[in-house]
Amino acid sequence: MKKIATLLIICALAVLIIPSAVVLPFSGQSKEQVQDIAASPASRSTESQTVARPPAITVSVVRSETKHTERIVLDDYLIGVVGSEMPPKFRLEALKAQALAARTYIMARIMDNPEAKVSDTVANQVYHSTAELKRLWGKDYAWKIKKVKQAVSETENQVITYQGKLISPVFFSTANGRTENAKDYWSGDVPYLRSVASPWDQLSPKFHNEKKLSVAEVEQALGVSLGKRNAGKTLEKTETGRVARYQIGGKTFTGRQIREKLRLSSTDFTLKRKGNTVTARTVGSGHGVGMSQYGAEGMAREGKKAAQIVTYYYPGTRISKMTIRPKEALVRK
């Protein structure tokens, strides 16, 4: 029955937007009123009244170790994601920004397909159960889980929207000083995934990275022959200083292809060869698009709130609150 009730909430998840609110139709009699949330330095509180709460939304998670699918209540899932994706030692406002991104991501998936399943890996969002987090965190579990739960609780029902629709809230670890334009890493342009300055990342332990590979490893990964001296050259860079096109062994690759095939930290890389060793030096960690996690931490250290963080890294977006309304109220008469 719980599964059926949950599907009643989600199967008709056509999204309506009242200023700053995502309205989800529900076939029951309960209704939760809208609360606006301003994405500005000063928080603005408004009263909201809840007559009754609908059944909990659940997430179908395929556990990578057992291959079994677990149905997990949304908030429990978000606690597991935030605790896995961002260090709990980060400031609370950074963790709240991560919670907003995590909730937006999974709700967009569910609304697109109520029967959708997600993995517990980086293919979707990394997730660990509280029992697993307890084993991973050991003696630090109590204060870490309390902080993560607070981040999820204090952003309850809040999501990130652009022009009334849930966004694709991609995030990564560390920028090279600027985030990347989506069009320069993936194929399409996304208005809220455009480059912004991210100077805070220089404090990240992942800002500079170095990886050594044998010539044979590079040749096998790229399907090329390097000869005696060749380590390739950059043909073109993006506006953020990352590699757009790279020529090596007589072939031309995108920066993304080199990064993924050689498993480099970022597309801001240089390759240097000495004998049979190729040294890859990178700046930043991750694809570089969307919200920088270390940038979020840097902003939080400066006193910025979660709403300010996410609307900075996703330009033109705002924080909206999901609300449940009777399905009948959405029918035009």
**Residue 61 in this model has a pLDDT that exceeds 60:** yes
Spans of all domains in the chain: 2-169+290-330, 203-283
At 325 the pLDDT is 54
Where residue 18 falls among pLDDT bands split at 50, 70, 90? Answer: very low
**SS3 label, residue 24:** strand
Lowest-pLDDT choice from 157-161, 199-203, 226-230, 245-249: 226-230
Partners of 128 in the β-ladder: none
pTM above 0.85, yes or no: no
3-state SS, one letter per residue, for 140-174: HHHHHHHHHHHHHHCCCCEEEEECCEECCCCEECE
Give tens-digit pLDDT for 106-134. Answer: 999 998 888 889 999 999 999 999 999 99
Question: With contact defined as beta carbons under 8 Å apart, do 296 and 309 qualify?
Answer: yes
